[in-house]
Amino acid sequence: MATYAIGDIQGCYDALRRLLDRCAFDPAVDRLWLVGDLVNRGPASLQVLRFVRGLGEAATVVIGNHDLYLLMVAAGLKRRADDDTLVQVLEAPDRDELLAWLATRPLLHVEGRHVLVHAGLLPQWTVAQARALAEEVSALLVGKAAKKLLLHLLGDQPDHWENGLKGWERARVIVNAFTRMRFCTLDGCMAMRAKGPPAKAPEGTLPWFALPQRLSRTHTIVCGHWSALGFYREEGLIALDSGYVWGGKLTALRIEDDKVFQVQD
C-alpha cells in the first residue's frame, strides 16, 4: 500500500489521470491525499468531482477555497466570477449529490505525524487545537447553519486568532487560515491579500510556515494553495501546489519514501 499526496487539481481531470498512471496508483490498495481545490480554473471540474467521489475511502480530501467558492455560488450567496469554470458542475443532474459530498470534506486531516490542509495553520495553534477548530467549523458546514456559515465566510477580518473569538468571526478566522493564508506578520496576523512568492513577501511578513514561534512544528504539514511558492519541501513541510492550471506541473509525493511524480503539458 502507498499513499500519494497530490497538489491542487483545479478541474484538470486529464492531468490527474495521467499523474495517477505515472504513480501506478491502484485504488484497491493505495490511497490519495488531496490538498483541496478540486475544482475551478481548469476545464473538467465535474469529471474531477465524480472521479474523486467514486474513489470512496481510497481518497482523503480536505476542502480548499475554490471548493468553498463553489458551495457559495451554488447556494446563491456569491456571484460567479467571469473566469470561473463551474457551469458544468452547477448544471449537472447529480450536482446536489456532488455538492453534499464536497461539503462533508474536512478542513484538516491528521494521520500519524502528518497534517493535511489546504493552506496552512496559524502559528498560535497546536495540531490538537487546529484539529478541534476544524471539526468545529466542519460541523456547521454540514448542519442547519451551513448557508449562514457560507454567507459569513466572506471577508478578511479578523486577521488574527484570539481564544475568545465567537460566532461568525471565529469561524471566518478558522476557515481563512486553513484555506486562504499564505503570509503572516511576525506577531501572527494573516496578510490575506499577499499572493506572490516568498522572495516578494510584504514588508514585515513571512510565509506562515516560517514563523519561528509556530506550534505545529511537531508534525509534517502537507498543503497546497500557493502556486507562486511551487513544489517546496523543508523539514516539517510539503507544499504541493506547483501551478498546473497556470502552465506548471501537477505534483504527487509518495509519503512512504518521498518519491516525487509530476506531469506537465
pLDDT at residue 71, as a whole number: 98
* pLDDT tens digit sequence for 95-121: 999 999 999 999 999 999 999 999 999
Residue 256 binned pLDDT confidence (cut-offs 50, 70, 90) = very high
Q: What is the largest CA-CA distance in the chain?
A: 49
pLDDT at residue 178, as a whole number: 98
* Amino acid found at 102: L
* Amino acid found at 93: P
pLDDT at residue 34, as a whole number: 98
pLDDT at residue 33, as a whole number: 98
pLDDT at residue 153, as a whole number: 95
Q: Which three cell numbers stand for residue 109?
A: 486531516
What's the CA gap between 43 and 83, in Å, rounded? 11
pLDDT at residue 68, as a whole number: 98
Q: Please state, as a whole number, how many other Cβ atoms lie within 10 Å of the Cβ of residue 92.
A: 16
Q: Where are the beta strands (DSSP E) in 70-223?
A: 108-111, 114-117, 183-185, 190-191, 205-207, 220-223
* pLDDT tens digit sequence for 37-86: 999 999 999 999 999 999 999 999 999 999 999 999 999 998 898 889 99
Are 152 and 171 in contact by the 8 Å Cβ rule? The answer is: yes
* pLDDT tens digit sequence for 175-188: 999 999 999 999 99
Strand ranges across the sheet with 3-6 = 59-61, 31-34, 3-6, 250-254, 259-263
Question: What is the number of domains present in the chain?
Answer: 1
pLDDT at residue 248, as a whole number: 98
Domain containing residue 180: CATH number: 3.60.21.10
pLDDT at residue 26, as a whole number: 98
pLDDT at residue 90, as a whole number: 97
The mean predicted confidence, pLDDT, of the chain is: 97
Domain span at residue 80 reads 3-263
Q: What percent of the chain has pLDDT over 90?
A: 97
The predicted model scores a pTM of 0.97
pLDDT at residue 247, as a whole number: 97
* pLDDT tens digit sequence for 147-172: 999 999 999 999 999 999 999 999 99
